[in-house]
Amino acid sequence: MVEGGFTKLFQKKSFFHFTQNYQPLGSGEPEEETHEDCELKIIEQEEEVTVLPARDACKRHKDDLAKALNVDLQSGLSEFSVLQRRLKHGWNEFSVENSKPIWKKYLDQFKNPLILLLLASALVSVITKEYEDAASIAMAVLIVVTVAFIQEYRSEKSLEELNKLVPPECNCLREGKLQHLLARELVPGDIIYLSVGDRVPADLRLIEVTDLLVDESSFTGEAEPCNKSDNVLLEAGDITTLSNVVFMGTLVRYGKGKGIVIGTGENSQFGEVFKMMQAEETPKTPLQKSMDRLGKQLTLFFFGIIGLIMLIGWLQGKHLLSMFTIGVSLAVAAIPEGLPIVVTVTLVLGILRMAKKRVIVKKLPIVETLGCCNVICSDKTGTLTANEMTVTQLVTSDGFQAEVSGVGYNGEGNVYLLPSKEILKEFSNVSVGKLVEAGCVVNNAVIRRNSMMGQPTEGALIALAMKMELADIKDIYVRKKEIPFSSEQKWMAVKCTLKNQDQEDIYFMKGAFEEVIRYCTLYNSSGISLSLTPQQKAFYQQEEKRMGSSGLRVLALASGPELGKLTFLGLVGIIDPPRAGVREAVQVLLESGVSVKMITGDALETAVAIGQNIGLCNGKLKAMSGEELDQLAEAELSSTVKNVSIFFRTSPKHKLKIIKALQRAGAVVSMTGDGVNDAVALKSANIGIAMGRAGTDVSKEAANMILVDDDFSTVMNAIEEGKGIFYNIKNFVRFQLSTSISALSLITLSTVLNLPNPLNAMQILWINIIMDGPPAQSLGVEPVDRDTIRQPPRRITDTILSKSLILKIFVSAIIIISGTLFVFWKENPKSGITPRTTTMTFTCFVFFDLFNALTCRSQTKLVFEIGFFRNRMFLYSVLGSFLGQLAVIYIRPLQKIFQTENLGVLDLLFLTGLASSVFIVSEFVKLCEKRCCRPKPTKACQN
């Protein structure tokens, strides 16, 4: 399904067709024919152009590049060249195999071993002329596969509405004209113009740049936009160092530029990720593996019953064919055809509960897989953090310190003066007010309706001014001049004057501390400018170092009448902070035995600062870089990655390497991410989780789950659901197998020992309805227990039929068989079986069933702990079954069908007391387990 979804992202409806019309000889239009021949010659004569790798293109001068790509930088490509190149390089999109037709997807649902086993039992029922059994099993199978198919199909359809990451349009220079084209029409050698807000349509080598800043966080994980230039590079490192190349799908944040297309479609950096994704296969979920194992176990049980019955019959001298027929009938009856329905319904209800919590789950078994998850690898930017730069600390030139609350560009939050925690507004503290004012004035960002346009660091300063109620202060100034930021000078300044006042001009400057301080001769002290001393400079340097070491990006601010005579105002610390609720979610996950690892393209200091902030391993962090990962052998990597909390400076290949190493070490890995660089890892992980708002569409298509509101803490709810679902499936299996073994054993014993049958055919059918009907189904919808999240993840090797569960099944079965046989013996007169005998035996078995269902609501907690009324569906179904049983006993038409008779009140009280023994013994076993086997607290920190 994931592959099919990802296929849709890149598949387009229209394809290029190159057709040529030929004129017949002697047509009377020789001029037109000659013109067409010329066009063909031009196409044939053009040299073949090859795609240039980014690492090669970045080292070439623009004239060499133009020559290599055979393009005129002033006029662009001709239409003939475009056609020729398109024939060789194809469209600027991704060629993929056609999606599976709907009927194939529907038939895929039948590949489940348990479904195949049920179909086999239906076939056997037809052969033995048990048509009613065959019809009921076939109906159960159809319900299961249809519900599963509809749910997965709906999830797929909901994703089709998402916008595609590959940009639809661009500005391209062709034949000397600037044209507005679809991005899919581009070919290598096209000249592209970029401006603010554009998504880059293909991999480009920049040839002209004006203050160009490009957001490459979807590739690199870096929250800060990259400064781009058109200078030739001497050496080419990884993609983060290629300052004169921009990649398909990245976003222009500021400035403008012009570039030559060097890579399209699968030959782009985006295409590299796509090819890696095609090579990856989504692993089977633990539930699918558990159901496969259960199917095999039930198959062995199936053949074991047949073999045992035939052996005993042969030893007794009975006809083998008749014994084979009995054995097959019993085995078919023993197979829990309700199990696939319960599993499917339980998973669908889990998906619906997750949908209410704003989580889209694309495949049914994925919800349960989260119950096995013991490692969460999370991308930092946009996942653990909001990908919104935010000011968190202020230090004024006269020593005041303040901290800032609130995240992002909405202006929510306050500025608190330390240590008093006084909330500051406007100029209630002059020094802080002047610092914030400068940051707001020397600024080109705009925030409208919580949306920021411009550089993220400038957006952070505007948001700070909004919190101080100073956002409008820049309107009192008229800007006369701007000295833009450049990577060489590392500062920006504006020259302003106050509106409607004849005052001297004032400069405002922001930038790197070491550069800004060079232009300062004074420092601000509560609104008064004092001479800047070496001691003051040393203090500022120390504060700048302290803030930088904690992962903050530090900006210095100054103002004054002229450059070189500025007044230093202070320092501002900016970071992309953790999302709200992430710290609490991480702590709960660690306490429940789930290890959380951060994987980022960011620098070590920033990654460690966020890691400490969210409480990764309670601050005991071990970090590893992408370069260090490359140096480790495969075996060594598997043992090392388990103990690392932070991976920094990583690429998509590193993320894949980490996940594969963890999986080899036996971990069930969940990967959360939002960028193109996360897509391959999302697909290869056991559970891929994408962000709905900030996430790129390629990451959403690759993932199994989508957090609609980007709330990392909902992963915790999903894990809780996953654990609860598996427990509910185990509860159902315990109930159904203990009941079916009891019914089988009664019939088998009576058949083998030549005793009269204690139950007639209609009574067995009624028991089968209870066994597979509402009481059994309602066990699958038991609400998730509040303590479930605190339970350690279940091991992937754990089967549904664990030794403990098998023991409990047999204990319950022995009690039910013993009690029912005791009633059968007690009520069996010497003259032969009477309606009272079968009624008492039948009612006894049904009451045992209902008490057994009550204790099967939880494997570990007493019914009094979980509450009688929490699962209302169970309550109604048990009550309905009880009233149904009374109807079978006391309503005359039903008495004739089921061959029953009226029972007295004392009879019912006796049967209730006897049947409750299975409930009492099971609850006592739970109590003993709680006293003797107290679980040790788990902590997922291995460092």
Q: 303 CB contacts (<8 Å, ≥6 apart)?
A: 331
How many whole angstroms separate alpha carbon 115 and alpha carbon 336?
A: 11
How many whole angstroms separate alpha carbon 117 and alpha carbon 112?
A: 9
How many whole angstroms separate alpha carbon 209 and alpha carbon 487?
A: 13
Q: 717 CB contacts (<8 Å, ≥6 apart)?
A: 354, 357, 359
Q: How far lies 251's CA from each of 159, 217, 455, 616, 691, in Å? A: 23, 9, 12, 31, 18
Q: Which of 653, 716, 651 is nearest to 684 (CA)?
A: 653
Three-state SS at 529: strand
CA-atom Rg of the chain in angstroms? 36
Write down the catalytic residue from 133, 198, 215, 379: 379
Q: How far lies 748's CA from each of 33, 310, 702, 837, in Å? A: 92, 11, 52, 19
Neighbours of 863 (CB within 10 A): 17
Residue 717 CA neighbour count, 13 Å, CB half: 21
- Residue 566 contacts residue 518 (beta carbons within 8 Å): no
Q: Which of 6, 859, 721 is nearest to 373 (CA)?
A: 721
Q: How far lies 514's CA from each of 392, 568, 575, in Å? A: 21, 12, 19
Residue with tokens 């296969």: 281
How many whole angstroms separate alpha carbon 604 and alpha carbon 647?
A: 9
CB environment 165-197: b (16+ within 10 A), e (fewer): bbbeebbbbbeeeeeebbbbbbbbbbbbebeee
**Positive/negative CA dihedral, 453, 457, 463, 469:** negative
- Residue 201 contacts residue 167 (beta carbons within 8 Å): yes
Number of H helices, E strands in the chain: 34, 28
> Which helix (H) or strand (E) segment is 402 a member of?
strand 401-404
- Residue 860 contacts residue 931 (beta carbons within 8 Å): no
What would the two tokens of residue 858 be?
């939880």
Total residue count of the chain as it appears in this document: 943
CB environment 658-676: b (16+ within 10 A), e (fewer): bbbbbbeeebbbbbbbbbb
Amino acid in the structure at residue 214: V
> Which helix (H) or strand (E) segment is 182 a member of?
strand 177-182
Amino acid in the structure at residue 490: K
Question: For the chain, how are helix, strand and coil distributed in percent, rounded to 5?
Answer: 50, 15, 30
What would the two tokens of residue 847 be?
């009451």
Q: 277 CB contacts (<8 Å, ≥6 apart)?
A: 6, 679, 680, 683, 702
Q: Judge whether 379 counts as a catalytic residue.
A: yes
Three-state SS at 607: helix
How many whole angstroms separate alpha carbon 281 and alpha carbon 691?
A: 21
Amino acid in the structure at residue 126: V
Q: How far lies 856's CA from each of 184, 264, 608, 732, 849, in Å? A: 59, 59, 47, 7, 10
Three-state SS at 365: helix
What positions carry a catalytic annotation?
Answer: 379
